[in-house]
Amino acid sequence: MAGFLLGLAQMIILAIETSCDETSLALLECSGPISRPRFKILKHHIASQIKIHEPFGGVVPNLAKREHLINLPILYKKIVGDIKSEEKLWKKIKFIAVTSGPGLEPALWTGIEFAKELGKRRQVAVYGVNHMEGHLWSFLASKNGRMAVKAGLSKQFPAVALLVSGGHTILLKMTAIDKWKKLGETRDDAVGEAFDKVARILKLPYPGGPQIEKLARLGDENSIIFPRPMIHDKNYDFSYSGLKTSVLYYLRDNPQSKPENIAASFQKAAVDVLIAKAARAVKESGAKSIILAGGVASSKYLKKNLQKKARELKVKVFVPEFRLNTDNAGMIGIAGYMNFLRGKKHSLKANGAMEV
């Protein structure tokens, strides 16, 4: 009860994210109960490692760890300012929220140890945060999320949440903002991982998702009929390994095929499965809305087609703003506050396979 009452008052949270190849720190102002949470991101900094990992076509864990160790103190100084400002700020910070999983464990540990050292030195609590819960709740700090809160969050549920990233493809049924059940997930490659692998097949730069989408705009998405794995299965699981392999074999057998047509046709096949599964979940659960989040939610193609389907189903779609879709500390602060109100704490041990 004490935590709940404190949650009604305005509080400042320092958030840290190092789950993969983005180092990020954010300062948030949070208030309100779990039924009407309000978030204002005061400061938000991200240090990208794309140039570091680009030559390898993917993230190298130990390189990511090295860069996090370099970037964390730099971003911290950007957040706190000079010594006088830092001292003043720490009088306001209630706790530190840090990603403890899922993700690359060498990378996760850098953020956790940095947060623990800060917490010990400043005598404030440090709470572990589930990275995927950060994605799930990130829309709450966006314009459409604030409108949903103002209208009454309970009116948006039940909902279907589609979490799509380089490491995850998960479909949830949510009965409330803090209550959900997993309907299905990928059995092999996540959809974002498939985009990266197909980009490598087409010799496109890392990260592959944005490059595939850019190239696909020049192509004909109906020129090649790639498989839609598990699209007709009665379950809500996904599989993208076979689709990636189909692209590899197609290019091997049709070396003169236009790369833009391959990219467009692959993108359509991948997204068709996501939308079909989400739409069926909406119909079978009687959902009033769809929440789309994760790095792949940055895809304009996915958002456009999901919103089109949502209009047909007469349900709302909630998507975070672009800066909150990719890995970032803003969403970690949001999840930290939501879990604070729930009285839930995640371990401060790195867990690469943490479940949502």
What is the residue extent of each domain of the chain?
A: 2-137+325-342, 154-319
Q: How many CB atoms lie within 10 A of CB 253?
A: 8
The CA distance from 64 to 251, in Å, is 32
The CA distance from 16 to 333, in Å, is 8
Please give the helix or strand (H or E) that residue 43 lies within, else none.
strand 38-48
Residue 109 has pLDDT above 80, yes or no: yes
Structure confidence at residue 312 (pLDDT): 97
Each residue's pLDDT tens digit, 219-272? 999 999 999 999 999 999 999 999 999 999 999 999 999 999 999 999 999 999
The CA distance from 77 to 83, in Å, is 9
Structure confidence at residue 9 (pLDDT): 64
Q: Which residues contact 79 (CB under 8 A, 6 or more apart)?
A: 14, 25, 26, 27, 43, 45
- Tokens matching residue 186: 């990928």
Structure confidence at residue 3 (pLDDT): 44
The most distant pair of C-alpha atoms in the chain lies apart, rounded to whole Å, by: 67
Residue 108 has pLDDT above 60, yes or no: yes
Q: What is the mean pLDDT of residues 112-121?
A: 98
**What percentage of the chain reaches a pLDDT higher than 90?**
92
Q: Which of 4-13, 74-83, 332-341 has the lowest mean pLDDT?
A: 4-13
Structure confidence at residue 2 (pLDDT): 41
Q: Which amino acid is at 63?
A: L
Q: What is the mean pLDDT of residues 54-67?
A: 92
The CA distance from 263 to 198, in Å, is 8
Residue 5 has pLDDT above 70, yes or no: no
Structure confidence at residue 1 (pLDDT): 38
Confidence band, pLDDT 50/70/90 cuts, at residue 4: very low
Confidence band, pLDDT 50/70/90 cuts, at residue 6: very low
Sort strands 93-101 and 38-48 into parallel, antiparallel or unpaired.
unpaired
pTM of the model: 0.94
Contact 343, 137 (CB under 8 A): no
- Alpha helices by DSSP H, listed for the chain, are 2-8, 50-53, 61-80, 83-90, 105-122, 131-137, 143-151, 191-201, 208-216, 241-253, 259-285, 300-313, 322-325, 329-342
Average pLDDT taken over every residue of the chain: 94
Structure confidence at residue 269 (pLDDT): 98
Q: Which residues contact 18 (CB under 8 A, 6 or more apart)?
A: 24, 68, 72, 98, 99, 103, 107, 108, 110, 111, 114
Q: What is the mean pLDDT of residues 338-355?
A: 93
Residue 8 has pLDDT above 80, yes or no: no
Residue 17 has pLDDT above 80, yes or no: yes
Residue 85 has pLDDT above 60, yes or no: yes
CATH superfamily placement of domain 2-137+325-342: ATPase, nucleotide binding domain (3.30.420.40)
Domain 154-319 has CATH 3.30.420.40: yes
Structure confidence at residue 313 (pLDDT): 97
- Alpha helices by DSSP H, listed for 154-299, are 191-201, 208-216, 241-253, 259-285
Each residue's pLDDT tens digit, 143-194? 989 999 999 999 999 999 999 998 999 999 999 999 999 999 999 999 999 9
